[in-house]
Amino acid sequence: MPEIQPRKILLHPELRRRGIYILPNLFTTAALFAGFYAIVQAMNGRFEHSAVAIFVAMVLDGLDGRVARLTHTQSAFGAEYDSLSDMVSFGAAPSLVIYEWALKGMGKLGWIAAFIYCAGAALRLARFNTNIDVVDKRYFQGLPSPAAAALVAGLVWVMLDLGYSGSEVRWSACALTIFAGITMVSNIRYWSGKDINLRKSVPFVVVAAFALGFALVSTYPAGWLFALFLCYALSGYVLEAWYWFRRRHVV
Protein backbone atom coordinates (compact mmCIF):
# COMPACT_ATOMS: atom_id res chain seq x y z
CA MET A 1 0.00 0.00 0.00
CA PRO A 2 1.25 3.52 -0.72
CA GLU A 3 2.37 5.48 2.32
CA ILE A 4 -0.16 8.07 3.42
CA GLN A 5 1.41 11.49 3.85
CA PRO A 6 0.04 13.76 6.59
CA ARG A 7 -1.96 16.70 5.27
CA LYS A 8 -0.52 20.14 5.88
CA ILE A 9 -3.04 22.75 6.88
CA LEU A 10 -2.12 26.11 5.39
CA LEU A 11 -3.43 29.10 7.28
CA HIS A 12 -4.21 32.39 5.68
CA PRO A 13 -1.52 35.02 6.52
CA GLU A 14 -4.14 37.19 8.23
CA LEU A 15 -5.13 34.31 10.52
CA ARG A 16 -1.50 33.63 11.42
CA ARG A 17 -0.91 37.27 12.22
CA ARG A 18 -3.96 37.47 14.47
CA GLY A 19 -2.35 34.97 16.83
CA ILE A 20 0.32 37.55 17.68
CA TYR A 21 -2.29 40.01 18.95
CA ILE A 22 -2.19 38.33 22.33
CA LEU A 23 1.36 39.62 22.89
CA PRO A 24 0.67 43.36 23.40
CA ASN A 25 -2.57 42.56 25.20
CA LEU A 26 -0.61 40.48 27.70
CA PHE A 27 1.36 43.58 28.66
CA THR A 28 -1.89 45.53 28.95
CA THR A 29 -3.35 42.82 31.17
CA ALA A 30 -0.23 42.88 33.34
CA ALA A 31 -0.56 46.67 33.71
CA LEU A 32 -4.22 46.22 34.64
CA PHE A 33 -3.27 43.65 37.25
CA ALA A 34 -0.65 46.03 38.70
CA GLY A 35 -3.31 48.73 39.10
CA PHE A 36 -5.71 46.26 40.70
CA TYR A 37 -2.93 45.05 42.99
CA ALA A 38 -2.24 48.66 44.05
CA ILE A 39 -5.89 49.08 45.09
CA VAL A 40 -5.90 45.80 47.05
CA GLN A 41 -2.68 46.65 48.88
CA ALA A 42 -4.02 50.11 49.76
CA MET A 43 -7.07 48.46 51.31
CA ASN A 44 -4.68 46.30 53.36
CA GLY A 45 -2.65 49.31 54.48
CA ARG A 46 0.47 48.43 52.45
CA PHE A 47 0.81 51.76 50.73
CA GLU A 48 4.44 51.35 49.71
CA HIS A 49 3.49 48.23 47.76
CA SER A 50 0.67 50.21 46.14
CA ALA A 51 3.02 52.98 45.04
CA VAL A 52 5.52 50.55 43.55
CA ALA A 53 2.72 48.69 41.73
CA ILE A 54 1.61 51.93 40.04
CA PHE A 55 5.14 52.50 38.77
CA VAL A 56 5.23 48.92 37.49
CA ALA A 57 1.94 49.55 35.68
CA MET A 58 3.45 52.65 34.10
CA VAL A 59 6.40 50.65 32.72
CA LEU A 60 4.13 47.92 31.36
CA ASP A 61 1.84 50.51 29.79
CA GLY A 62 4.80 51.96 27.94
CA LEU A 63 5.75 48.53 26.62
CA ASP A 64 2.43 47.34 25.20
CA GLY A 65 2.19 50.02 22.53
CA ARG A 66 5.81 49.59 21.48
CA VAL A 67 5.41 45.83 21.28
CA ALA A 68 2.29 46.26 19.15
CA ARG A 69 4.11 48.57 16.74
CA LEU A 70 7.18 46.34 16.53
CA THR A 71 5.09 43.25 15.79
CA HIS A 72 2.57 45.17 13.60
CA THR A 73 -0.32 44.00 15.79
CA GLN A 74 -2.11 47.31 16.42
CA SER A 75 -5.87 46.91 16.63
CA ALA A 76 -8.93 48.86 17.71
CA PHE A 77 -9.53 46.30 20.44
CA GLY A 78 -6.03 46.83 21.81
CA ALA A 79 -6.47 50.60 21.85
CA GLU A 80 -9.77 50.38 23.77
CA TYR A 81 -8.41 47.75 26.14
CA ASP A 82 -5.37 49.93 26.83
CA SER A 83 -7.59 52.91 27.70
CA LEU A 84 -9.67 50.87 30.12
CA SER A 85 -6.51 49.51 31.73
CA ASP A 86 -5.11 53.05 32.05
CA MET A 87 -8.29 54.21 33.76
CA VAL A 88 -7.86 51.55 36.44
CA SER A 89 -4.08 51.84 36.85
CA PHE A 90 -3.67 55.62 36.49
CA GLY A 91 -7.14 56.89 37.39
CA ALA A 92 -8.89 54.80 40.02
CA ALA A 93 -5.83 53.27 41.69
CA PRO A 94 -3.89 56.50 42.48
CA SER A 95 -7.01 58.32 43.68
CA LEU A 96 -7.96 55.45 46.02
CA VAL A 97 -4.38 55.02 47.27
CA ILE A 98 -3.93 58.70 48.10
CA TYR A 99 -7.38 58.83 49.68
CA GLU A 100 -6.75 55.83 51.93
CA TRP A 101 -3.28 57.06 52.85
CA ALA A 102 -3.73 60.79 53.47
CA LEU A 103 -7.13 62.20 52.48
CA LYS A 104 -9.43 59.91 54.40
CA GLY A 105 -9.37 62.03 57.56
CA MET A 106 -10.12 65.31 55.77
CA GLY A 107 -13.85 64.72 55.39
CA LYS A 108 -15.55 66.01 52.25
CA LEU A 109 -12.45 67.81 51.03
CA GLY A 110 -10.55 64.53 50.97
CA TRP A 111 -12.90 62.57 48.76
CA ILE A 112 -13.59 65.62 46.58
CA ALA A 113 -9.85 65.95 45.90
CA ALA A 114 -9.63 62.24 45.09
CA PHE A 115 -12.64 62.52 42.77
CA ILE A 116 -11.13 65.53 40.98
CA TYR A 117 -8.11 63.42 40.20
CA CYS A 118 -10.17 60.39 39.10
CA ALA A 119 -12.46 62.50 36.89
CA GLY A 120 -9.47 64.33 35.44
CA ALA A 121 -7.89 61.02 34.44
CA ALA A 122 -11.11 59.83 32.78
CA LEU A 123 -11.53 63.09 30.84
CA ARG A 124 -7.85 63.09 29.88
CA LEU A 125 -8.06 59.58 28.43
CA ALA A 126 -11.31 60.33 26.58
CA ARG A 127 -9.85 63.49 25.04
CA PHE A 128 -6.67 61.68 24.07
CA ASN A 129 -8.63 58.97 22.24
CA THR A 130 -10.74 61.47 20.30
CA ASN A 131 -7.92 63.90 19.42
CA ILE A 132 -5.20 61.38 18.64
CA ASP A 133 -5.29 62.14 14.89
CA VAL A 134 -5.50 65.94 15.10
CA VAL A 135 -2.95 67.00 17.72
CA ASP A 136 0.79 67.56 17.34
CA LYS A 137 2.53 64.25 18.01
CA ARG A 138 5.46 66.03 19.64
CA TYR A 139 3.35 67.25 22.56
CA PHE A 140 0.68 65.92 24.90
CA GLN A 141 -2.36 68.07 25.56
CA GLY A 142 -2.44 68.15 29.35
CA LEU A 143 -0.39 66.09 31.77
CA PRO A 144 -0.41 62.40 30.71
CA SER A 145 -2.28 60.16 33.14
CA PRO A 146 0.73 57.84 33.75
CA ALA A 147 2.85 60.85 34.73
CA ALA A 148 0.09 62.13 37.03
CA ALA A 149 -0.20 58.70 38.63
CA ALA A 150 3.57 58.56 39.10
CA LEU A 151 3.46 61.99 40.72
CA VAL A 152 0.84 60.89 43.28
CA ALA A 153 2.40 57.47 43.87
CA GLY A 154 5.85 59.04 44.13
CA LEU A 155 4.66 61.34 46.91
CA VAL A 156 3.30 58.38 48.86
CA TRP A 157 6.46 56.36 48.33
CA VAL A 158 8.96 59.07 49.24
CA MET A 159 7.02 60.26 52.30
CA LEU A 160 6.77 56.71 53.63
CA ASP A 161 10.48 56.24 52.99
CA LEU A 162 11.22 59.40 54.98
CA GLY A 163 9.06 58.19 57.87
CA TYR A 164 6.06 60.52 57.45
CA SER A 165 2.51 59.32 57.85
CA GLY A 166 -0.35 60.33 55.60
CA SER A 167 -1.99 62.48 58.27
CA GLU A 168 1.18 64.55 58.65
CA VAL A 169 1.31 65.56 54.98
CA ARG A 170 -2.39 65.43 54.12
CA TRP A 171 -2.61 69.08 53.05
CA SER A 172 0.35 68.71 50.71
CA ALA A 173 -1.13 65.47 49.40
CA CYS A 174 -4.49 67.15 48.85
CA ALA A 175 -2.92 70.06 46.95
CA LEU A 176 -0.81 67.74 44.80
CA THR A 177 -3.81 65.52 44.00
CA ILE A 178 -5.93 68.47 42.89
CA PHE A 179 -2.99 69.90 40.92
CA ALA A 180 -2.51 66.61 39.06
CA GLY A 181 -6.22 66.26 38.32
CA ILE A 182 -6.61 69.78 36.96
CA THR A 183 -3.37 69.66 34.96
CA MET A 184 -4.52 66.49 33.18
CA VAL A 185 -7.53 68.31 31.68
CA SER A 186 -5.70 71.55 30.96
CA ASN A 187 -4.48 72.63 27.53
CA ILE A 188 -0.89 72.89 28.71
CA ARG A 189 1.52 71.15 26.35
CA TYR A 190 3.98 68.53 27.53
CA TRP A 191 6.80 67.08 25.52
CA SER A 192 5.87 63.57 24.42
CA GLY A 193 9.27 62.29 23.30
CA LYS A 194 7.67 60.67 20.24
CA ASP A 195 9.96 62.59 17.91
CA ILE A 196 12.92 60.55 19.15
CA ASN A 197 13.88 57.84 16.66
CA LEU A 198 15.52 54.99 18.55
CA ARG A 199 16.57 53.33 15.30
CA LYS A 200 18.96 56.14 14.42
CA SER A 201 22.51 56.26 15.71
CA VAL A 202 23.18 58.58 18.63
CA PRO A 203 26.41 59.98 20.09
CA PHE A 204 28.14 57.95 22.76
CA VAL A 205 27.50 60.68 25.34
CA VAL A 206 23.74 60.09 25.03
CA VAL A 207 24.12 56.41 25.90
CA ALA A 208 26.43 57.33 28.78
CA ALA A 209 23.86 59.85 30.06
CA PHE A 210 21.12 57.20 30.04
CA ALA A 211 23.37 54.77 31.92
CA LEU A 212 24.21 57.46 34.47
CA GLY A 213 20.52 58.27 34.88
CA PHE A 214 19.61 54.64 35.55
CA ALA A 215 22.44 54.36 38.08
CA LEU A 216 21.32 57.56 39.78
CA VAL A 217 17.71 56.41 40.07
CA SER A 218 18.80 53.05 41.48
CA THR A 219 20.53 54.77 44.40
CA TYR A 220 17.26 56.22 45.72
CA PRO A 221 14.28 55.22 43.54
CA ALA A 222 11.56 56.88 45.62
CA GLY A 223 13.19 60.30 45.78
CA TRP A 224 14.57 60.48 42.25
CA LEU A 225 11.40 59.22 40.58
CA PHE A 226 9.24 61.67 42.50
CA ALA A 227 11.62 64.53 41.67
CA LEU A 228 11.70 63.49 38.01
CA PHE A 229 7.92 63.47 37.57
CA LEU A 230 7.48 66.62 39.64
CA CYS A 231 9.88 68.42 37.30
CA TYR A 232 8.02 67.01 34.32
CA ALA A 233 4.67 68.21 35.70
CA LEU A 234 6.09 71.70 36.21
CA SER A 235 7.86 71.73 32.84
CA GLY A 236 4.56 72.25 31.02
CA TYR A 237 3.87 75.44 32.95
CA VAL A 238 7.43 76.65 32.34
CA LEU A 239 7.06 75.93 28.62
CA GLU A 240 3.74 77.78 28.43
CA ALA A 241 5.21 80.76 30.28
CA TRP A 242 8.12 80.85 27.85
CA TYR A 243 5.79 80.72 24.83
CA TRP A 244 3.65 83.49 26.31
CA PHE A 245 6.69 85.67 26.96
CA ARG A 246 8.02 85.08 23.45
CA ARG A 247 4.67 85.95 21.82
CA ARG A 248 4.42 89.10 23.90
CA HIS A 249 7.98 90.07 23.05
CA VAL A 250 7.32 89.60 19.31
CA VAL A 251 4.15 91.68 19.47
Assess if residue 3 is contained within a domain.
no
In a domain, 147, yes or no: yes
Alpha carbons 156 and 41: distance in angstroms, whole number: 13
Question: The domain spanning residue 144 has which CATH number?
Answer: 1.20.120.1760
In a domain, 7, yes or no: no
In a domain, 52, yes or no: yes
Per-residue pLDDT tens over the stretch 121-176: 999 999 988 887 767 778 889 999 999 999 999 999 999 999 999 999 999 999 99
Give the count of domains, the chain. Answer: 1
Contacts of 63 (CB under 8 A, 6+ apart): 27
Q: How many whole angstroms separate alpha carbon 248 and alpha carbon 233? A: 24
Which residues form the domain of 130?
16-250
Q: What is the pLDDT of residues 174-214, one digit of tens each?
A: 999 999 999 999 999 998 877 666 667 767 777 888 888 88
Distance CA(209)–CA(162), nearest Å, equals 28
